[in-house]
Amino acid sequence: MVITNGIVVTADAGSRVINPGAVAIDGADIVAVDGADAIRRQFRGRETIDAGGQVVMPGLVNTHTHAPMVLFRGLADDLALDEWLTKYVFPAEAKTVSPEFVRAGTRLAALEMIESGTTTFADMYYFEEEIAKETKAAGLRGVLGETIIQFPVADAKTPAEGLAHAESFITAFRNDPLITPAVAPHAIYTNDGATLKAARALSLKYGVPTLIHMAETQSEATTARERGSPTVVAYLESLGFLGPGVVAAHAVWVNDSDMTLLKSRGVGVSHNPESNMKLASGIAPVKAYLAANVAVGLGTDGAASNNDLDMFESMRAASFLQKVATSDPTVVSAKTAVQMATIGGARALGMEKQIGSLEPGKRADVIIVSMSAARQTPMYDPISHLVYVTRGDDVQTTIVNGKVLMRNRKVQTLDRAAVLREAKTWAAKVSAAVGR
Ligand SMILES: [Zn+2]
């Protein structure tokens, strides 16, 4: 397949933009990225997609979400994290989460992600094997972490059961081309030290990522202090938890020595600006992370705290939030925001050799983004427009692993009307469960 006549935003080491450019794809792989004429001379695609002067770029990498929570979208807003979790989310989950629920939620999330240009997402939830099946069916790439949590949940009565569940999930999916199974200890305040250690040990046994909520709110440090450590990061270090393959969602409340530790241990960070703002969790020191060369990607977090999965909004929010936080309008430039949503996210997930940029030898995860809306006119700089005016709805075509999942706004792998209808049916059950 050849995608030609595009403004090709590569997100490669030189942040090259090739206009008019083209991308040649063979099976699941990118084989060439070059000027449109050069590609035309060298390749004849069985299929040619004329990008018509629109942006062709790497698919967006959402480094932190809880896909099925789209079914809790708008259920409870304007609350602090602890109240939101304990009064609404945990009770609603206790009464509704089932294999059928997560499958319906994942279909809705996948539809939204495909429609807004996300091609890879990192997930933390329950019944992750069901999420994996739906993710594969939709054609998306997922780093899917089975949740480990100290109290009884829908798919495990104890952490030991959760770990056994995670292990069978890992063995079932570890050689899958689209799914990277992972272990997801929820957070330090929802797991004791022994469970955190066991979760990390399970990840290391199979060489799969460990996803965790880390230092999301200021109060999380109380748990660390009660366990004899000054900070959340120091506590996890004392357990021997930190190392390559750990992806820390949020990492808002860190000091300088925490940051040095995260860097030296090779921990990836997922920055979730919209969720952090909505829950008033705080502002992650992204400027400092970038200066320290920590691998930072962007995430939406679950739709219940965002309330959507649009990574273009995440780019814009990351840029604006860091500017206002540091009183420096030059930080998280449009170029940096695009990098964070693509190659930075890939790096944070340890997948930079496979995805995150348009380069020969990487998987063909590619999106085509329209630049023809009134709000995008005129266009002096496509990178500026991607961050400051573009929305998920502007994505026209989404390709993952060489397969077209959406063509000219028409999703190929999901029955849109059926997915939406089913989600509304589940919403009635959720409402009944929490009395709203
Ligand atoms: Zn989260």
Mean pLDDT of 381-408: 98
Residue 116 CA to ligand 1 center (angstroms) comes to 20
Residue 42 CA to ligand 1 center (angstroms) comes to 45
Residue 62 CA to ligand 1 center (angstroms) comes to 12
Consecutive H or E run containing 170: helix 159-173
Residue 64 CA to ligand 1 center (angstroms) comes to 6
Mean pLDDT of 165-186: 98
Residue 85 has pLDDT above 90, yes or no: no
Q: What pLDDT was estimated at residue 413?
A: 98
Reported confidence tier of residue 76, pLDDT bands at 50, 70, 90: confident
Residue 14 CA to ligand 1 center (angstroms) comes to 32
Q: What pLDDT was estimated at residue 436?
A: 75
Residue 207 CA to ligand 1 center (angstroms) comes to 23
Residue 101 CA to ligand 1 center (angstroms) comes to 18
Mean pLDDT of 312-333: 98
Q: Over pLDDT 70: what percentage of the chain?
A: 100
Report the C-alpha gap between 270 and 122 in whole angstroms. 10
Q: What pLDDT was estimated at residue 293?
A: 96
Mean pLDDT of 46-67: 98
Residue 265 CA to ligand 1 center (angstroms) comes to 22
Residue 352 has pLDDT above 90, yes or no: yes
Residue 353 CA to ligand 1 center (angstroms) comes to 26
Residue 302 CA to ligand 1 center (angstroms) comes to 6
Q: What pLDDT was estimated at residue 86?
A: 87
Residue 123 CA to ligand 1 center (angstroms) comes to 9
Residue 36 CA to ligand 1 center (angstroms) comes to 41
Mean pLDDT of 20-41: 98
Residue 186 CA to ligand 1 center (angstroms) comes to 8
Q: What tens digit of pLDDT does each residue of 183-224 get?
A: 999 999 999 999 999 999 999 999 999 999 999 999 999 999
Residue 183 CA to ligand 1 center (angstroms) comes to 14
Mean pLDDT of 106-124: 98
Helices (H), 265-351: 273-278, 286-291, 311-326, 334-339, 345-348
Residue 143 CA to ligand 1 center (angstroms) comes to 14
Reported confidence tier of residue 88, pLDDT bands at 50, 70, 90: confident
Name the more confident of 95 and 131: 131
Contacts for 373 with CB less than 8 Å, ≥ 6 apart: 389, 394
Query: How many other C-beta atoms lie within 10 A of the C-beta of residue 352?
Result: 17
Residue 68 CA to ligand 1 center (angstroms) comes to 12
Residue closest to 255 by CA, chosen among 273, 233, 275, 277: 233
